[in-house]
Structure 1
């Protein structure tokens, strides 16, 4: 596959003719709808020759809420090893709190398609909010842990889950060791029944990195405790932060390089964002709030406002600015160029997986490029 960047004067017919691909293929692969408008600077995936070379296997995980569009899930499942359902919480007694919407249908559809359904566990309380006090109570109380693990096993057996993903953020520094011990205990118990256990890690670049997001996350201990880890290499650009790339490749590389000093490459999945942000300008800390958009929406915004899409060669990420109702906006999102940079990083460092936050919107070019570069592992045990 090749990547083509739209120039002034291009149209779908001229690009397809030059690349030697059917127009219908170009439109389908890049989800270009009638009247087939393009933005200058837009990156297109051209499927003019399938990769016939041997491809390295890749474990692919995607997070999704139970309210995902069933058609979107159907389109995505062929490209997944695991489907992580987001999310289950728990109480201070260790009782499991199910998602707001029924998740059984997702488990059944995933299993029917040979994809392993994974129960995602987060410190989500009864009030529906994340609470790191729940983590402290859990990791310091063996009885609460015992009850929660029993609840996990019962729920997984009843619903047909094949694994657990532990996604605890803002773990307190004083809970660092006990948190890793809890993950290890979950893995030891779950592995006895054939269930896999993964853990999501905040994107650290050094062992002693300061900050609430990092101090309670010990890469070495958690890497030893779980079957697999996901590096959450996204959210540099985030809802309340200043405009910038969500996953700048220069920062992603630093996280990977540090992770490899603590965790074997065969256990590591690289986190990949499937979204972007639209910030109103000027940015004011504590006031400005970005709107989350998907990658196709970003392109539509650029087309609607007649602005070219730029590409930051350091972050390896597309961006642009536009004006609306007297307010200037800045947009950062993902395209096949930024995604390929991440896939190349996986190959360069010999990582064994990729994990998507999240798969609620279908971006076909991503999945076509991924499957062209890797052989996606089967998910069922």
Structure 2
């Protein structure tokens, strides 16, 4: 695969002719729809040959909700080692709460494509937000914790899951050790039936990092307690924050450099965002709210508004500005250049692999580039 940056005057036909590739492959790789317009600065993935056989084997996980489009799911699963079903909750008494929609089709599809279906556990309260009260109640109550672990184990076996992912956020600082102990006890139970346990980690850069996202996550303890970890290396640019890259590579690198001092690299998955944000300017703290968009949608916005896509060489992320209905907007998203930078980080630090939040929208160029860069670990028949 090669990456081509669109210049002024380029068309799909001229790009294909110049690079000696088929028009059909350019359209397919990059999900370009009729009338086949391009944006100046757009990064196109071109198929120029066959991948090298000398590729690192990686584990690739993707999170998805049970309302994922079946066609998107089936086009994505060939590139996944695991599919994390989002999500299962629990009560203060440790009773497991199933997702509101049936996830059976996801489990069956994952197994069909040799990707492990994973039960994702989250502590959502009645308001749909992460609840540190709920976490505190369960992990500090032996009876409730054991009840939850038992119900998770039974559900994994009954529904055909092949692992558990613990995605808890806003853990109280005083629950730091107890949370790690809970993960370790859950791992013992799930390992006993032949499956692994992973845990998601907020993107820390030091042991003493303050803030509710960070203080309750002890990298060393959780790295020891779980079979693998996911570094949630995204959301620097987020819904209520100022416009910036969602996963600037310079910031992502800082997290990885810290993580490998506390956790073996063969246990670490790099978190990768599969989305972007569209901010209306000017940004007003406490008032502004960015709109979440897909990466293909971002290109369509640029095309529709005749915007030229820029690329930040520090963040290694694409962005652009446009004006609609008298309002200025700023968009940050992911393209194959920003993905390549993240893949290079996985190779540089010899990490276990990567985990995508989330795979609800198809980003075909990413998956093609991934398969060109790595061997993707698959479950045995």
Category of TM-score, reference length = shorter chain = over 0.9
Q: How does 1:73-92 map to 2 (within 5 A)?
A: 73-92=73-92
Distance (whole Å) between structure 2 residues aligned to residue 299 and residue 126 of structure 1:
37
1:287 maps to 287
Task: Give, in angstroms, the shift of residue 109 of structure 1.
Answer: 1.2
Instruction: Give the TM-score of the pair, scaled to structure 2.
Output: 0.99
Task: Give, in angstroms, the shift of residue 346 of structure 1.
Answer: 0.4
Distance (whole Å) between structure 1 residues aligned to residue 262 and residue 125 of structure 2:
31
Q: Say if 2:242 is the partner of 1:260.
A: no
Structure 2: gaps spanning 5 or more residues: none
Q: Secondary structure at the match of 1:314?
A: coil
1:371 maps to 371
Distance (whole Å) between structure 2 residues aligned to residue 174 and residue 153 of structure 1:
27
2:198 maps to 198
Deviations 1:163-196 (A, max 9, x none): 0000000111000000000001101111011011
Q: Say if 2:185 is the partner of 1:185.
A: yes
Asked whether the equivalents of residues 130 and 170 of structure 2 are also in contact (C-alpha less than 8 Å), the reply is no
Asked whether the equivalents of residues 243 and 279 of structure 1 are also in contact (C-alpha less than 8 Å), the reply is yes
Distance (whole Å) between structure 1 residues aligned to residue 327 and residue 128 of structure 2:
34
1:324 maps to 324
Task: Give, in angstroms, the shift of residue 17 of structure 1.
Answer: 1.1
Distance (whole Å) between structure 2 residues aligned to residue 56 and residue 342 of structure 1:
14
Distance (whole Å) between structure 2 residues aligned to residue 98 and residue 323 of structure 1:
43
Q: Say if 2:247 is the partner of 1:229.
A: no
Distance (whole Å) between structure 1 residues aligned to residue 337 and residue 128 of structure 2:
37
1:355 maps to 355
Asked whether the equivalents of residues 153 and 189 of structure 2 are also in contact (C-alpha less than 8 Å), the reply is no
Query: How many pairs are equivalent?
Result: 381
Asked whether the equivalents of residues 115 and 380 of structure 1 are also in contact (C-alpha less than 8 Å), the reply is no
Distance (whole Å) between structure 1 residues aligned to residue 86 and residue 80 of structure 2:
16
Q: Secondary structure at the match of 1:45?
A: strand
Structure 1: gaps spanning 5 or more residues: none
Task: Give, in angstroms, the shift of residue 127 of structure 1.
Answer: 4.9
Task: Give, in angstroms, the shift of residue 125 of structure 1.
Answer: 3.0
Task: Give, in angstroms, the shift of residue 53 of structure 1.
Answer: 3.2
Deviations 1:347-368 (A, max 9, x none): 0110011100000000000000
Range moving further from structure 2, 176-185 or 13-22: 13-22
Asked whether the equivalents of residues 92 and 144 of structure 1 are also in contact (C-alpha less than 8 Å), the reply is yes
2:39 maps to 39
- Aligned-residue Cα RMSD (Å) equals 0.9
1:146 maps to 146
Distance (whole Å) between structure 1 residues aligned to residue 4 and residue 191 of structure 2:
45
Deviations 1:204-229 (A, max 9, x none): 01111011100000000000000000
Q: Secondary structure at the match of 1:117?
A: strand
Task: Give, in angstroms, the shift of residue 130 of structure 1.
Answer: 2.2
Q: Secondary structure at the match of 2:319?
A: strand
Q: Secondary structure at the match of 2:63?
A: strand
Distance (whole Å) between structure 2 residues aligned to residue 372 and residue 305 of structure 1:
32
Task: Give, in angstroms, the shift of residue 60 of structure 1.
Answer: 0.2
Q: How does 1:114-193 map to 2 (within 5 A)?
A: 114-193=114-193
Asked whether the equivalents of residues 80 and 379 of structure 1 are also in contact (C-alpha less than 8 Å), the reply is no
Task: Give, in angstroms, the shift of residue 128 of structure 1.
Answer: 3.5
Asked whether the equivalents of residues 125 and 134 of structure 1 are also in contact (C-alpha less than 8 Å), the reply is yes
Task: Give, in angstroms, the shift of residue 113 of structure 1.
Answer: 1.7
Q: Secondary structure at the match of 2:369?
A: helix
Task: Give, in angstroms, the shift of residue 105 of structure 1.
Answer: 1.3
Range moving further from structure 2, 127-136 or 367-376: 127-136
Q: Say if 2:48 is the partner of 1:48.
A: yes
Range moving further from structure 2, 110-119 or 60-69: 110-119
